[in-house]
Structure 1
Amino acid sequence: MSILTGSGRSNISIQYTIDESQKAHSIGPWKVLPATKKLSSTGDAAVISGSVRNKVSVWSCSLSLRGEQRTRCVEQLKREITTLSRLRHPCILEVVEPLEETRGELTFATEPISTSLANSLSSQSNPEYQLDEVEIRKGLLQVARSLEFLHNSRRIHTNLNPHSIIINAKADWKLAGVGYLTVLSDEHGADSEWVLEDEENRLPPQMQRDMNYVDPMYALDRRASTSNDMFSLGVLIYAIFNRGKPPYETHQSRSSVKVNADRLPAPLHTGAWNSLGGDVQAILSCLVTRSGENRPTAKTFQSLAYFNSVLVSVLQFLERDSFAARTRQEKVQFLRGLQKMLPQFSPPLRKRKLLPSVSDLLMQMIEIMSDRSLLPYILPNVFAMTGQISSLEFGNSILPQIKSLFTVQDPPQNQNLFVSKMSAAQFREDVMPLFYSAFENENIAVQENALQKIPKLSDVLEFSHVKDVLLPKLAALFAKTKILSVKVSSLICFYSLTPMLDKATLVEAILPTLARIKTKEPAVMVAALAVYEAVAAKVDRETKATAILPRLWIMSMCPALTAKQFSRFMQVIRQLTDAIENEHLAHLRDQHEVQRHTENVVAENSSTRKSLSTTINTTNDLDFETLVGHTQSNQRSNIDLLSDQSRNSSIDMSVLLDSVPQNLAPVHSTAQPPPVKAPRSTGMSTSAVGIPPSTLHSLSPPPSRPTLRHSQSRTEGMGMAQSSGLFDALMNNAQSSDTTWSASSMQSPTNTTFAPKLASNTAAIPPPGWGGGLLEPDRPRHTQSTTNLPTKSTWSDFDPLK
């Protein structure tokens, strides 16, 4: 994205991405916008002058003039930027990209700037741009240092005013506007004259020198000297304390300059004069004079009492060149003391000046890969100064500068970060590696420092990160350390993380770690007690009873515990015991209630299950319609009727036999009946089908074949769950009449019970399958065929349990 208005494209617009979303600064004829260096094909930012230069400020000037006037303006601007590019000093604005001329526009790039002093003075009502007195003193010293540099090389600025002072991104004051830089002919400059006097009047007003700040000795007497700049510096100081207004207005007229100059120092005693301090008034009285004999030089100006301030000295110490020239011991001592001095600086100054300066030192260490040992001393100051800035600003300006330091493991870094200034994802990805490196460090102080920060991070770390990453590293540190303080700090971390862990993690990770504690130190025991108590609040009663309570009893027997500590153990043990008792009793009551409810449901549904049991046909299969729950109204089978009648033990046997269908009558057959398979159980007991167990045991089998042998185990094994209603009736009748079953009674035609049905038989025999014992078939099963089907008049193949 380019700011060019013409059709041409400059090299700057190709190499840099200019942010046109920002508001452009107007400085003289120039429009200034921030820009970022584009990445090269290898993905690395361009390296300029040995430092990584990512951000710059792009200056552009679009000329709408034509003819000779345009040519004159272009020449003046080129002279200014070319001169500025040749001047190399920390207090002079640094040119990064040289001037480029395209069709209709001039462009060049400098170090990142914030604004000009003129714009800052006109915005004093805005707290963001309001200048702090310490900042003013520091800025004036920087201006004086730049003038000293020029004067030592026999040059004078001759155009010092608020527009020619640029405030960069680090709040340093930089000298610019050197379009009228004049070279002195000798040491005293007696032969030098006003440069470009005729051409200057033909330039646009914003490109001319501001006559409100020009020394009358230079404008009126045509004497060029280093004292000319000192006069302009005095007027600049007055304007700074008077909301940007100089002591008098000349309206670019030399006659007005003469009138006001002859009245000096009277014009100074108006406006803000009475509100100025005595030191400032003394400085102005020396600098803003008609003649230049008593004016201090740029060097002596820096030693005035007005600048004798420890806060100003701190700011000067932080300058890159000054800091780099110090020894390591001096740097460490300064960085340690800086954190104590920070409260004395105003929040705007900490934000505009201190924080950028300290961040610049960090970037310098990263670039030159030296003095890494100072990082633990620099970072605490950075974090202390970021308290007043927003999270957005921290993420955009501060975090990118210090992010690369998070991977530095030697030396160990400080983890005292402002969590509120970073998103949770940023903190987990960028900052947590610092903690993990500290856990693995052999320095005990580093480990303790990291462990002390963990309890404060519960709101930032998510469950999966704690479970999969943090907790294993804490457990490893706890297991390997032999330092008492580290063990206690680790237990405190476990305690703080317990509320965010689930039951499975507590049982699988925390409890096994605590179970491996071998030390008997009271501090470790008490800390472990707190963790156990927190875990017990989230686990079930069985874990409390089997994994926690026994360990507490073991730990409570530690002989080194005090009486108060032992009482604390007993209190927790009693609480856990009561909780386990109450929870288990409640569980048993609930279990009993569920069992009772289940039995009631079974009892209510017993009739349905009995009906289902009695519908088993001769092939041991269920009727399909009954199986699926379909019933036909007013239609009941004879088998169901017999089943209902069998429940009455006093029913007459002849009535039962009369109710049997003729097709179920037994048929004489010499073939052995098939073995009877145990029917599928339906869950019904013998009592459910109307046969008490005592009745089955009371049956007396006949002594010889065909004799009914009583087989208790066989009968009980089958459960009598699927016996037919006819068999139930026979059993009940036999019990009620005390009839002894024998072969002769079964064959006698005079038997009162069986006579009606057995009279027509030629050879009375018991029903097939009853010869080997009760419910025990005495012949194998035969395949069903049409020739062996039972008929209405025979009992040849009837088996009541088939």
Structure 2
Amino acid sequence: MFSSALKSFSSNISANYQISPQPAVISGPWKVHDGKKKSTGTSASIFIFDKKSLESRPSGLGGRSSSSAKKLHEDVVERLKREAGSLTRLRHPSVLQVLEPVEETRGGGLMFVTEQITTSLARLLQEKDAQESNSRLGSRPSRYMVEEPDGTRRRRDLEIDELEIQKGLLQVAKGLEFLHESAGLVHGNLNPEAIFINAKSDWKISGLGFAGPPNSTDSRSSLPPLALSEVLYQDPRLPPSVQLNLDYTSPDFALDSNVTTSADLFSLGIIIVALYNSPHVSPLQAHSNLNSYRKLLSSPSTTPSQGNNFLCSGTIPKELITHVLPRLITRRPAQRLNAREFQQSQYFDNILVSTIRFLESLPAKNQNEKSQFMRGLQRVISEFPVSVLERKVLGILLDELKDRELLPLILQNIFAILQRIPNARRTLPEKVIPRIKELFPTDKAAVHERDSKKDAGLMVVLEHMKTVADNCSGKELKEDILPLIRLGLDSPTHSLVDGAIKCLPVILPILDFSTVKNDVFPPIASTFSRTNSLAIKVRCLEAFTALCGGSLNEGGPVEDDLSGLVQKGNSQPIRSSILDKYTIQEKLVPSLKAIKTKEPAVMMAALHVFQQIGTIADTEFLALEVLPILWNFSLGPLLNLHQFGEFMNLIKSISLKIEREQRKKLQELSSGTDSSGFQNGAGSSSKIPNSLTQSNVDSTRDNFERLVLGRGPDASSSKDTDPWSSMLSEEASAQKQSPAAFSWSTNVAASAGRGNAPSGASSLSMRSITPDYNLHSFPSLEPTARQRSSPRPPSPPCKQHHLILGMRQAIRIARILCLVHP
């Protein structure tokens, strides 16, 4: 439906602008739609007048087809066209700015484009009345609900703050001063419908359809004089929105038929009363009837005056009711204030209004005045209403960011405002971040020149990273803010590097793992490796601590949580965004190993990093890589006793962890081999009692000594004291019946002979110990050659046989001694 309706308004504007389907504001005969220019994306407001709105009203003189009604409609269209043309020609901060001049549409309507507006003063007062009415009735209509950034909904606050009223009236007065003194015009129909409020909360004058030169001067204006006899007559064939609003008209028009500039000041006084009235309407209700209007002014009880509180049911500020309104709402034009005098009244004599006035004239001030103002602004920001800060003050400060000399001061004020306003989560990404990105380009093609003011501005941004992070999403932080931090890390200015690293505790909880690994860690590692500043090295080590899951503030007491690692009492829990094990072992630890300086501050900061590494790295890596580095650092000549003790505590803790893990691993392996029946001497040796094992060791030591010293064996003593004697005698008797054979022989007879031995001797003779070459033990004997072709020599005499047995036993004893006493 809307697309078909737009076809009737086909014009150059509709081709170049995106227009919202529904009007945002209806003011007088104009429907104001939100729009956006297709080529630039600039927000704007499109004013559309549909001629059919005039034809829809029935007339009592022959209907819509009568020639008089047609002529009347043409006059209205011509007046509206003249209104848009006047706005285009008149350029002033307090006059609505036209972006695209008026165009006629196919259906005979009109269309023009202005700066973006949010509402009109009339619409604002109507919404305020509706909200107050519904509050009394207990209802909560949805159009008065707004959604907070956290998803909650609250009632929209339509309270018109006193400062906003002061600021708005001051702007309207400036606009009237321009019309009266520069343009030589009388507005003629000043009322809330003719005042618009833009996105910056500025009040703008519009509705110049009845504007014309005053009667008392010879004006060279291109506009025709205002024909009061025509405009005062309310034609029932036309809607009231295209006719003069008698409720705000001056008695100069209605009673004296005199067009004067002071008539606009009377209308301004009635608007002031309406702002404080309840409901917010004019105290003069003429109901579009000139006779009713004249009757109201003929009686003191129905004429607004100081005696009857100007017929206002609300409370009017004392300065207005005593000094301003009596000189605006007065019968005689000569007694009224003019626009310039109104701006100088006591009503505007306060610090906040003066601050707004200075802000509006800031481009005309010199550099010294601007600098003093920006320093003092921080002290009064807390006194401003948040609505004025967000819509007015913030916008002016953003526009002034182009001044490099004032950049740090302006940014400090901007962040002070963001900390106060409740909509900072929407304002920061939409308004502030785009301007900051323009100031600090981060693309590789940008040429980065050393600029002290620019560096100071970036430092302000880094110092307020907490405010930025609290009001940004993770995506915005990664794409828009992280490059600024990288810019600080890459800067040759140490203070910027330090400020960038201090931002890590704020941004790490928001960023994901891949961003931390690929975008955060590399620039910090690069800065750490190239810097010669001890302070920056310490700051980078603190950053490594945070990247490994710790805290930048590692100053708490040392505690041992029995996990094998010394940790700080105030360290943060490990987060999902910390570095992975591979990056820590392959990239971080080599960087720490390459530290050359032995300064205690650097060593202790590295100690805190290793405390976190100990909770993540593998046990083998800790033993082979980390512990040697810690020993190297701990022996630094500049460490004091307490610092050395902290290193020793960490070394001991990591060592205990390694020992605990290794014991656990060996126990698991041992339990697995026992259950599978693995036989390597361990099973048989476990069956030998401890007393027997110890006596065997002692007796074999004595036999070995007698052997090497050439002493003869003592049979009686060996039988009594050597538990091996019985076994040796049994083995000797067996050897008398069979040829001599070594344990590695494959002689069948020897095997059979051993098979007939007692079970105890058999179990002991089968015991063997795996040689350990690392312990310099005797290697197992191997025959040099096997003489399979020649017969085995006869058995040696008994003495030689005992000698061979002794040598074999000596070898076994030596192996045991090497194991027991390594």
Paired residues for 1:106-505 under 5 Å: 106-124=110-128, 125=131, 127-152=156-181, 153-187=183-217, 194=228, 196-197=230-231, 201=235, 203-243=238-278, 244-262=280-298, 263=300, 264=303, 265=305, 266=307, 268-272=309-313, 274-319=315-360, 322-362=361-401, 365=402, 371-387=403-419, 388-389=422-423, 391-392=425-426, 394-407=428-441, 411-412=454-455, 413=458, 414-415=461-462, 416-417=464-465, 418-499=468-549, 500-505=578-583
Q: Report if aligned partners of 1:227, 1:297 keep a CA contact under 8 Å in 2.
A: yes
Which residue matches 2:82? 79
Q: Report if aligned partners of 1:72, 1:203 keep a CA contact under 8 Å in 2.
A: no
Shift of 1:30: 1.4
Q: Distance in 2 between matches of 1:736 and 1:512?
A: 63
- What letter corresponds to residue 297 of structure 1 in structure 2? N
Q: Residues 101 and 436 from structure 1, CA distance in 2 versus in 1: closer, same or farther, beyond 3 angstroms?
A: same
Correspondent of 2:669 among 594, 609, 616: 594
Q: Distance in 1 between matches of 2:121 and 2:790?
A: 122
Which residue matches 2:139? none
Helix, strand or coil: the match of 2:118? strand
- What letter corresponds to residue 339 of structure 1 in structure 2? Q
Per-residue CA distance 1:545-603 (angstroms, 9 max, x = gap): 454445445545556556xxx42541452254044225414422431441342243145
Helix, strand or coil: the match of 1:182? coil
Per-residue CA distance 1:452-498 (angstroms, 9 max, x = gap): 22221111222222222322211222233333433332222222221
Q: Distance in 2 between matches of 1:348 and 1:537?
A: 50
Per-residue CA distance 1:703-748 (angstroms, 9 max, x = gap): xxxxxxx9987x78xxxxxxxxxx97x875577799xxxxxxxxxx
Which residue matches 2:776? none
Which protein has the larger Cα radius of gyration, Structure 1 or Structure 2? Answer: 1
Paired residues for 1:550-565 under 5 Å: 550-556=628-634, 561=639
Paired residues for 1:23-34 under 5 Å: 24-34=24-34
Helix, strand or coil: the match of 1:150? helix
Q: Residues 374 and 397 from structure 1, CA distance in 2 versus in 1: closer, same or farther, beyond 3 angstroms?
A: same
- What letter corresponds to residue 11 of structure 1 in structure 2? N
Correspondent of 2:596 among 502, 506, 518: 518
Q: Report if aligned partners of 2:276, 2:315 keep a CA contact under 8 Å in 1.
A: no
Helix, strand or coil: the match of 2:228? coil
Q: Distance in 2 between matches of 1:697 and 1:8?
A: 131
Q: Distance in 2 between matches of 1:559 and 1:174?
A: 74
TM-score of the superposed pair, with normalisation by structure 2: 0.68
Q: Distance in 1 between matches of 2:24 and 2:4?
A: 11
- What letter corresponds to residue 259 of structure 1 in structure 2? K
Shift of 1:330: 3.2
Per-residue CA distance 1:400-452 (angstroms, 9 max, x = gap): 45443442655232233421322212211211111111122233332222222
Q: Distance in 1 between matches of 2:756 and 2:399?
A: 116
Q: Report if aligned partners of 1:280, 1:306 keep a CA contact under 8 Å in 2.
A: no
Which residue matches 2:45? 57
- What letter corresponds to residue 45 of structure 2 in structure 1? S
Q: Report if aligned partners of 2:119, 2:198 keep a CA contact under 8 Å in 1.
A: yes
Helix, strand or coil: the match of 1:459? coil
Larger displacement relative to structure 2 (262-271 or 142-151) = 262-271
- What letter corresponds to residue 600 of structure 1 in structure 2? S
Q: Report if aligned partners of 1:498, 1:535 keep a CA contact under 8 Å in 2.
A: yes
Helix, strand or coil: the match of 2:26? strand
Q: Distance in 2 between matches of 1:583 and 1:446?
A: 41
- What letter corresponds to residue 163 of structure 1 in structure 2? E
- What letter corresponds to residue 26 of structure 2 in structure 1? S
- Percent sequence identity is 34
Q: Residues 604 and 158 from structure 1, CA distance in 2 versus in 1: closer, same or farther, beyond 3 angstroms?
A: same
Helix, strand or coil: the match of 1:31? strand
Q: Distance in 2 between matches of 1:696 and 1:200?
A: 147
TM-score of the superposed pair, with normalisation by structure 1: 0.69
Shift of 1:4: 3.8
Which residue matches 2:728? none
Per-residue CA distance 1:46-87 (angstroms, 9 max, x = gap): xxxxxxx71111111222215514323212211211121111
Helix, strand or coil: the match of 1:36? strand
Point out where structure 1 has 5 or more consecutive residues left out of the alignment.
40-44, 46-52, 366-370, 606-691, 702-709, 717-726, 739-768, 775-802
- What letter corresponds to residue 134 of structure 1 in structure 2? L
Shift of 1:35: 1.1
Q: Distance in 2 between matches of 1:459 and 1:76?
A: 61
2:649 paired with 1:574:
yes
Helix, strand or coil: the match of 1:247? coil
- What letter corresponds to residue 407 of structure 1 in structure 2? P
Q: Distance in 1 between matches of 2:504 and 2:96?
A: 45
Helix, strand or coil: the match of 2:476? helix
Shift of 1:158: 1.2
2:580 paired with 1:506:
no
Q: Distance in 1 between matches of 2:218 and 2:321?
A: 28
- What letter corresponds to residue 58 of structure 1 in structure 2? I
Q: Distance in 2 between matches of 1:426 and 1:195?
A: 62
Q: Distance in 2 between matches of 1:358 and 1:176?
A: 26
Shift of 1:536: 2.2
Q: Report if aligned partners of 2:634, 2:648 keep a CA contact under 8 Å in 1.
A: no
Q: Distance in 2 between matches of 1:553 and 1:737?
A: 61
Q: Report if aligned partners of 2:488, 2:496 keep a CA contact under 8 Å in 1.
A: yes
Point out where structure 2 has 5 or more consecutive residues left out of the alignment.
56-63, 132-143, 145-155, 220-224, 443-447, 550-577, 681-730, 758-785, 792-822
Q: Residues 5 and 506 from structure 1, CA distance in 2 versus in 1: closer, same or farther, beyond 3 angstroms?
A: closer
Q: Report if aligned partners of 1:117, 1:166 keep a CA contact under 8 Å in 2.
A: yes
Shift of 1:132: 1.5
- What letter corresponds to residue 258 of structure 2 in structure 1? R
Q: Distance in 2 between matches of 1:238 and 1:459?
A: 53
Q: Distance in 2 between matches of 1:697 and 1:38?
A: 117
Which residue matches 1:795? none
Q: Residues 604 and 31 from structure 1, CA distance in 2 versus in 1: closer, same or farther, beyond 3 angstroms?
A: farther
Shift of 1:122: 2.0
Q: Report if aligned partners of 2:234, 2:289 keep a CA contact under 8 Å in 1.
A: no
Q: Tell me how large the CA RMSD over aligned residues is.
A: 3.6
Q: Distance in 2 between matches of 1:93 and 1:8?
A: 23
- What letter corresponds to residue 216 of structure 1 in structure 2? P
Q: Report if aligned partners of 1:406, 1:431 keep a CA contact under 8 Å in 2.
A: no
Q: Distance in 2 between matches of 1:403 and 1:285?
A: 52
Q: Report if aligned partners of 2:232, 2:254 keep a CA contact under 8 Å in 1.
A: no
Per-residue CA distance 1:82-138 (angstroms, 9 max, x = gap): 121111111100111111222333211100001001111222346443222111111
- What letter corresponds to residue 231 of structure 2 in structure 1? E
- What letter corresponds to residue 603 of structure 2 in structure 1? M
